[in-house]
Amino acid sequence: MNPRKKVTVVGGGQTGGMIAYCLANKNICNVVIKDIPEFTQHYGKALDIMQCSAFAGFETMVTATIDWETTANSDVIVITAGAPRLPGMSREDLLKGNADIVGAMVRNVAKHSPDAVIIMFSNPMDVMCHVALRESGFPRNRIIGQGGMLDSERFRTFLAMELGVSQRDIHAYVLGGHTDTTMVPIVSRACMGGFPVASLIGAQRLEEIVARTMKGGAELVQLYRAGSAFFAPAVATTTMVESIIMDEKRVLPCSVLLEGEYGVVEEVFCGTIIKLGMGGAEQVYEVPVSDQERERIRAAARSTQELFALIS
């Protein structure tokens, strides 16, 4: 029998802990939660999750650590660590501090798990993907941002609520950037059971749903008052990890380094559709979108490029 795959979650906060729990329940890999010595909650979360196994029915080993040696030879590294987003704070506000944090972590990832696929969660996510690419030296296919997954979950949720149908029968994606202003809900391709949603929902109402999707993270920050979303982000990230670990070849909306897609000449991380398997982003697809959506994707790429230039 092949040994279990190994996934390291860097950052044992709300989201990191929930990702570890979701992965444990999948029973497909062992999990390491890595955090700093000053933060001890990840030890409690690892033990708490392990104590679920008797009745939850999984054999996953969940380990907490403060050292990188324990994470060695991970197949997937999920980086969630960084400063939290607070009310009134944009993802861009987190730029400089998180770039330093993520850069140091990625250098350790490259040293101890040189064959890993990195899933970037820390914000501003698209820029942090650039930091990870620069600091790791990994190829394009092994640095992937999860923002489009979360934003697409929200878009599908709001469309399903409006139509009164199962979210599983909504096929809709958010591409572009992972910020309140640069994400691009792709209305032109959104469908319910094969029917274009634009034929089922009035134009004004559809605009309101798009606007709510784009402010979906800020809405939850305001509702939580202290902290931000962690259930939906964890499920989105777990779906990505499972597709890699199990080599499922899922076709999912993620941030990858564009190389000419959508007419983006400069190489820049931006959300599109990819095939996600054991090799990471095994194929990158350019979605046929409207002219307006294409221009908004290009604008998102320019915005990310400008932000990355500030820390280059």
Q: Which residues are part of the catalytic machinery?
A: 178
Q: What is the three-state SS of the chain?
A: CCCCEEEEEECCCHHHHHHHHHHHHHCCEEEEEECCCCCCHHHHHHHHHHCCHHHHCCCCCEEEECCCHHHCCCCEEEECCCCCCCCCCCHHHHHHHHHHHHHHHHHHHHHHCCCCEEEECCCCHHHHHHHHHHHHCCCHHHEEECHHHHHHHHHHHHHHHHHCCCHHHEECCEEECCCCCCEEECHHHCEECCEEHHHCCCHHHHHHHHHHHHCHHHHHHHHHCCCCCCHHHHHHHHHHHHHHHCCCCEEEEEEEEECCHHHCCCCEEEEEEEEEECCEEEEEECCCCCHHHHHHHHHHHHHHHHHHHCCC
